[in-house]
Amino acid sequence: MTAAVFFGCTFIAFGPALALYVFTIAIEPLRVIFLIAGKASEGLKSINPDESAPSMRLLAYVSGLGFGIMSGVFSFVNTLSDSLGPGIVGIHGDSPQFFLNSAFMTLVIILLHVFWGIIFFDACEKKKWYILLLVLLTHLLVSTQTFLSPHYGINLVSAYVIMVFMGIWAFFVAGGSCRSLKFCLLCQDKDFLLYHQRSR
Amino acid sequence: MLTFMASDSDEEVCNERTSLMSAESPTPRSCQEGRQGLEDGENTAQWKTTFSFSFLISKSLPYITSSSCGAGTPWSSRCGFPQRSQDSEEDCEEDPDHYDCSAVPGRPPGLEEELTLKYGAKHVIMLFVPVTLCMIVVVATIKSVRFYTEKNGQLIYTPFTEDTPSVGQRLLNSVLNTLIMISVIVVMTIFLVVLYKYRCYKFIHGWLIMSSLMLLFLFTYIYLGEVLKTYNVAMDYPTLFLTVWNFGAVGMVCIHWKGPLVLQQAYLIMISALMALVFIKYLPEWSAWVILGAISVYDLVAVLCPKGPLRMLVETAQERNEPIFPALIYSSAMVWTVGMAKLDPSSQGALQLPYDPEMEEDSYDSFGEPSYPEVFEPHLPGYPGEELEEEEERGVKLGLGDFIFYSVLVGKAAATGSGDWNTTLACFVAILIGLCLTLLLLAVFKKALPALPISITFGLIFYFSTDNLVRPFMDTLASHQLYI
């Protein structure tokens, strides 16, 4: 049971982040380094003339993901390593769903960090300071909610609701629209297909 | 409590390795002591480790260079083949990480820089992977095999014990241990430089072979034994012999002769991990941290100061156009060379040809196998009439000592304390950041640089701050499921 809990919780908490990393970053790590080195626009233009300088957003996404992964790992890895060992969960009256709750909470924190990163960078670029404040306040809100630790239900549900809102907001901030979403889901996005064909 | 143990066999002179590597070659004593025979069982193990330790010290030379234009000249800004066109040499000097040595003259400078960054970035990632793998192997072993965290004596190079009642005494002992270790290293490095200057290549080569043998056979045997004990798996001696023999023989061939690049890299990672485990086991706690700090300072001084032994070594090797032994360096890319142009037989008698076949030592022939036969015959004239394809992919080379000390830091972080994973991960991230910065500096300065100082400094800072400040905080948060 302990190995099952260990692997299950690991994949719940870090699966999406790992997938994001593998599918978006691991294949083009140079891009990230381009961004950090500041030659993004010219470099990207030379490589892919059609792209209209999404560099700052990519950096926002990558840094959000990085922060999220580090935060999630630091919060959860010790709990994970304890879940492997012999023991009884909640023997002193705590909830027996400790590991599962922690795993889901870690997942939501990682995703929230990604979205917050995107929104934050965009707000900095457009100099909308109230958005910065809003991001900070939602972060505080989610963290403060975790003080309701025995009542996992409310805690998790509201955190996920906030995450969905943040996700939608970040999607629109990053330049998405209902139309592009429709194209993407129906595999009709010509730009996307062309781009991926070209890069091969 | 001193452990006896034969000093290692001859000290390993770290020639090439020493460039940026801390030449730890404490070995001379081991040779003689080894011959005195073994004492009792416990001493035997320690004897073996000290013995091999000395050998391996020479292996633990950290350094980092990027391969330059010429094959076989690991330092940037130097093209090894005078017959190459001048512009390619210039280009090589400008962009050591540039993929194509023969740059197109009409290329815009922005693109050059961009490509430099791009390929420099590629090399950063090419080094992240082996460093990460080495650290993973070490941490996994430390966390599962208890042998490497059990205190079982100390090496002869750290004679002062840390089992003292007072903190001040313990600190003093660890500083003294560090002084002894570092002075041994300095002596060995200087000895190495002297040997290299006087061209005692056979001696050096023999030394390297002995140390690889020791690592690949003896330490692997011990490691395998401990792993089998931990998991309670029985293995009979014939199977064990077969396994260790195959592993070791293939390793020797791959490292010292020809082999697929990936296999060579894998073996280098494994021997670095084994050596790091030895250090983790036999260095007492406080001494280990002080030694890590002192080694970084020594590395910095030895590589960058004009009179530093490693720098002199690098310069001597550059003058002679000789590469560093591939056995002691992890190379991230394949170098296809043999760029031996057709030699004019009439000119051979008069000149000492600088681009001898040993330049191929560091390169692979067109089938991707490293050709390493002529390294010890520096006075041989080039093969007359030999004309081969020239092609080169730049790569970055990192000395095995760097791998070893990075892994020692992370392994010690994993071994000590309360088995905290946050500390281990923090040190891991710190080392990678330091490595990234060092590679950035390498792209900027384009000469051999010490790879230890930045990473080890970050690693030490992160270790102490995480272990003392972050860990109690995160433990409390995690136990109450509070997220910040």
A142 min Cα distance to partner chain B (Å): 8
Residues B310-343: pLDDT tens digits? 888 878 888 888 777 667 788 877 654 444 444 4
Q: Considering only the beta carbons, identify the residue of A33, A105, A109 that sits closest to B121.
A: A33
d(CA B332, CA B327): 13
> B483 and A37: CB-CB below 8 Å?
no
As a whole number of angstroms, the distance between CA B348 and CA A31 comes to 49
CB atoms A30 and B121 under 8 Å: yes
Please tell me which of the candidates A33, A106, A146 has its beta carbon nearest to residue B117.
Answer: A33
Residues of A in contact with B99 (CB under 8 A): none
Please report the pLDDT score of residue B358 as a whole number. 35
Strand partners, B64: B398, B449
**Chain segment A92-110, per-residue pLDDT in tens:** 877 888 889 899 999 999 9
- CB-CB under 8 Å, B474 with A149: no
One-character DSSP codes across B26-72? -THHHHHHHHT---SHHHHHHHHHHHHHHHHHHH----EEE--SSTT
Question: Contact B474/A78, CB-based, under 8 Å?
Answer: yes
Average pLDDT on B232-247 reads 95
List the single residue in A with minimal CA-CA distance to B471. A74
Q: Report CA dihedral (B49, B51, B54, B60) to the nearest 10 degrees.
A: -40
Is the pLDDT at B278 greater than 90? The verdict is yes
pLDDT in tens, B3-38: 223 333 333 333 334 333 333 333 333 333 333 333
pLDDT 10s digits, B369-419? 333 333 333 333 444 444 444 444 567 888 888 999 999 999 999 998 666
| Cβ partners under 8 Å of residue A139, min gap 6 | A112, A116
The reply to whether B299 belongs to the active site is: yes
The arithmetic mean of pLDDT across residues B365-369, rounded, is: 33
Percent of chain B with pLDDT over 90: 32
SS3 B156: coil
Arithmetic mean of pLDDT, B215-225: 94
AA letter at B32: Q
Contact B61, B399 (CB under 8 A): yes
Residue B331 β-bridge partners:
B397
The reply to whether A10 touches chain B by the CB within 8 Å rule is: no
The residues near B389 (Cβ < 8 Å, ≥ 6 apart) are B336, B338, B339, B366
Which chain B residues are Cβ-neighbours of A79 within 8 angstroms? 478
- Report residue A120's pLDDT band, with 50, 70 and 90 as the boundaries: very high
Query: In this complex, is the C-beta atom of A14 within 8 Å of any C-beta atom belonging to chain B?
Result: no
Q: Which of A111-120, A182-191, B221-230 has the lowest mean pLDDT?
A: A182-191
Over residues B67-109, the pLDDT tens digits come to 433 333 333 323 222 333 333 333 333 333 333 333 345 556 5
Q: How confident is the model at residue B478 (pLDDT cuts 50, 70, 90)?
A: confident
And the tokens for B296? Answer: 């970084």
Task: Give residue A1's pLDDT band: very low, low, confident or very high (50, 70, 90).
Answer: low
pLDDT in tens, A35-48: 444 454 454 444 44
Average pLDDT over chain A reads 81
Subunit contact B483:A30, Cβ cutoff 8 A: no
Q: Which residue of A has its CA nearest to B143?
A: A81
Question: Residue A89 — pLDDT band, cuts 50, 70, 90?
Answer: confident
Contacts with B, A 78-137, CB within 8 Å:
78-79, 81, 98, 101-102, 105-106, 109
What is the rounded distance in angstroms from the CA atom of residue B191 to the CA atom of residue B217?
27
Rounded to the nearest 5°, which phi and psi values hold at B399? Answer: -70, 155
Coil, helix or strand for B331? strand
- Nearest CB to A43 within list B114, B425, B477: B114
Q: Over 80: is that where the pLDDT of B305 sits?
A: yes
Mean pLDDT of B289-302: 93
| CA-closest candidate to residue A155, choices A98, A75, A73 | A98
Mean pLDDT of B194-217: 89
* Cβ contact, residue pair A142, B483, below 8 Å: yes
Asked if A138 reaches chain B (Cβ–Cβ under 8 Å), the answer is no
- Identify the three-state secondary structure at position B150: coil
Is A146 an 8 Å CB contact of chain B? yes
Longest dimension (CA), chain B: 83
Please, are residues A94 and A52 in contact by the beta-carbon 8 Å criterion? Answer: no
CB contact under 8 A, B483 and A75: yes
ipTM for the complex shown: 0.83
Residues 6+ apart with CB under 8 A from B131: B398, B402, B403, B406, B431, B432, B435
**Residue-level pLDDT at B166:** 92
Between β-strands B370-371 and B396-399, what pairing exists: parallel, antiparallel or unpaired?
Answer: unpaired
| Residue-wise pLDDT tens digits, B167-187 | 999 999 999 999 999 999 899
Which pTM was predicted? 0.74
How many angstroms away from the CA of B58 is the closest CA of chain A? Answer: 35
Q: What is the pLDDT of residue A73?
A: 92
Q: How close B30 comes to chain A (CA, Å)?
A: 41
The predicted structure's pLDDT at residue B483:
84
Residue A169 pLDDT exceeds 70: yes
* pLDDT given for residue A93 in this prediction: 76
- CB distance B353 to B375 below 8 Å: no
A34 to B118: CB separation less than 8 angstroms, yes or no: yes
- Cross-chain Cβ contact A101/B484 below 8 Å: no
Torsion angle in degrees (nearest 10) through CA of A71, A73, A74, A76: 110
pLDDT at B459 over 60: yes
Contact assignment for B422 to A76 by CB distance below 8 Å: no
Pick from A163-172, B84-93, B358-367 the range whose average pLDDT is largest: A163-172
Please report the beta strands in B353-452, taking only residues with DSSP state E, as ranges in sequence order. 363-364, 370-371, 396-399
Q: What is the pLDDT of residue B316?
A: 85
- Mean pLDDT of the B44-69 span: 51
Query: DSSP E strands: which ranges in B159-243?
Result: none
* Distance of residue B470 Cα from the nearest chain A Cα, in angstroms: 10
Higher pLDDT, B453 or B309: B453
Residue B207's pLDDT is 87
pLDDT value at B46 more than 90:
no
A151 in B contact zone (CB under 8 Å) = no
Query: What percent of chain B has a predicted confidence (pLDDT) above 70?
Result: 61
A35: left (phi over 0), alpha (psi -120 to 50) or beta: alpha
Active site annotation includes B402: yes
Instruction: Say which of B299, B362, B420, B467 is annotated catalytic.
Output: B299
pLDDT at position A154 is 85
